[in-house]
Chain A
């Protein structure tokens, strides 16, 4: 039963991705990208990654989609027809894809409990996190305590992105901000 849901969701994702590659109207492409993010969040839930699904739904479907819509309102709404045939690009993509498929032939099956990824550090985190750190949510304890440096770097990256966009676009002062009808541009 789990396998069925998995297969159906992955098929939806592939159809959405192919449609994004072909559609020229940017509004449709951005909406399909929102659907792509949301279906991948559902897929993460079936793979037991609830924290990741939460973050992908909030950040990928919410913030990414609305920023792309804002950019589309400030630039153009349709893509130009590609002037040349994409034969060389298709060849490169097919060759890369087949090399990657050859590389994944040795990977363990989906859900295998004896896979090498579960053997080194993860059993220690799972067994000792309630005694050493405390919170029941093991993802929070690994994120905040065992791997706290990575989270510090990530926060710094978000802050840097905020500063860069402030430098590129600038914030209007409160007195100059008009009554800006954003959705009417769409």
Chain B
């Protein structure tokens, strides 16, 4: 679709703002609506827009399938790892009060880390879904 001039220019203008908005939603999940799931999906939608306009091969050069596999697994690992670190420092599994000096600071750090893990996994899985569907050969017409 990259010979459609208007689509290409508008996509190039929009994609940085979509990525910025996704980062905003991820880190301001504590103060307004938002959080890991919504941010991961918005991140993925920026990459899906890029794939639609510029083609699957170019998009796979930006984010390769190997990177997606690693990102998807590491998101769940970050989440579980936070819980295990809490156990190592003396509390129960996923008891964030043990992560820092005061319980409130520990909760803040714990929530930040798990939202990061959730956002990473959701982003990687959504993009993996789109790559899988659009890389399949369609019916012979």
Do chains A and B stick together as partners? Answer: yes
Quote the shortest CB–CB distance from A185 to chain B (angstroms): 6
**Candidates B52, B94, B111; contact of A152 at CB < 8 Å:** B94
Given known pairs A54-B34, A54-B38, the reply for A173 and B125 (CB within 8 Å) is no
Q: Is A50 an interface residue (CB 8 A)?
A: yes
Q: Is A122 an interface residue (CB 8 A)?
A: no
Q: Chain B: interface secondary structure?
A: helix
Given known pairs A151-B114, A177-B60, A182-B52, the reply for A158 and B125 (CB within 8 Å) is yes
CB contacts (< 8 Å) of B122 on chain A: these are: 155, 158
Is there an interface contact between B104 and A169, defined as CB atoms closer than 8 Å?
no
Quote the shortest CB–CB distance from B95 to chain A (angstroms): 9
Is there an interface contact between A171 and B128, defined as CB atoms closer than 8 Å?
yes
**Candidates B69, B76, B96; contact of A145 at CB < 8 Å:** B96
Q: What are the interface flags for A123-165 relative to B under an 8 Å C-beta threshold, 1 for contact and 0 otherwise?
A: 0000000001111110111011100110110011011011001
Q: Chain A: interface secondary structure?
A: helix
Is there an interface contact between A166 and B128, defined as CB atoms closer than 8 Å?
yes
Is there an interface contact between B38 and A145, defined as CB atoms closer than 8 Å?
no
Is there an interface contact between B34 and A51, defined as CB atoms closer than 8 Å?
yes
CB contacts (< 8 Å) of B118 on chain A: these are: 151, 155
How long is the Cα–Cα vector from A136 to B32 in the complex, in angstroms?
A: 8
Is there an interface contact between A166 and B132, defined as CB atoms closer than 8 Å?
yes
Is there an interface contact between B111 and A144, defined as CB atoms closer than 8 Å?
yes
B69's nearest neighbour on chain A, judged by CB, is A166
Is there an interface contact between B133 and A75, defined as CB atoms closer than 8 Å?
no
Q: Is B48 an interface residue (CB 8 A)?
A: yes
CB contacts (< 8 Å) of B132 on chain A: these are: 165-166, 168-171
Q: Is B29 an interface residue (CB 8 A)?
A: yes
Given known pairs A140-B30, A144-B114, A171-B132, the reply for A183 and B57 (CB within 8 Å) is no
CB contacts (< 8 Å) of B1 on chain A: these are: 181, 183
Residues of B participating in the A interface, judged by any CB pair closer than 8 Å = 1, 25, 29-35, 37-38, 41-42, 44-45, 48, 52, 55-57, 60-61, 64-65, 68-69, 72-73, 75-76, 79-80, 83, 94, 96, 103-104, 107-108, 110-111, 114-115, 117-118, 121-122, 124-126, 128-136, 138-139
Nearest 6 Cβ contacts at the A-B interface? A135-B30, A162-B125, A70-B133, A172-B135, A169-B132, A50-B33
- 4 A-B pairs besides A74-B133, A161-B129 with CB distance below 8 A are A58-B41, A62-B45, A139-B33, A140-B29
- Between-chain CB contacts (< 8 Å), 8 pairs: A51-B33, A134-B104, A137-B31, A137-B32, A144-B111, A155-B121, A159-B75, A159-B125
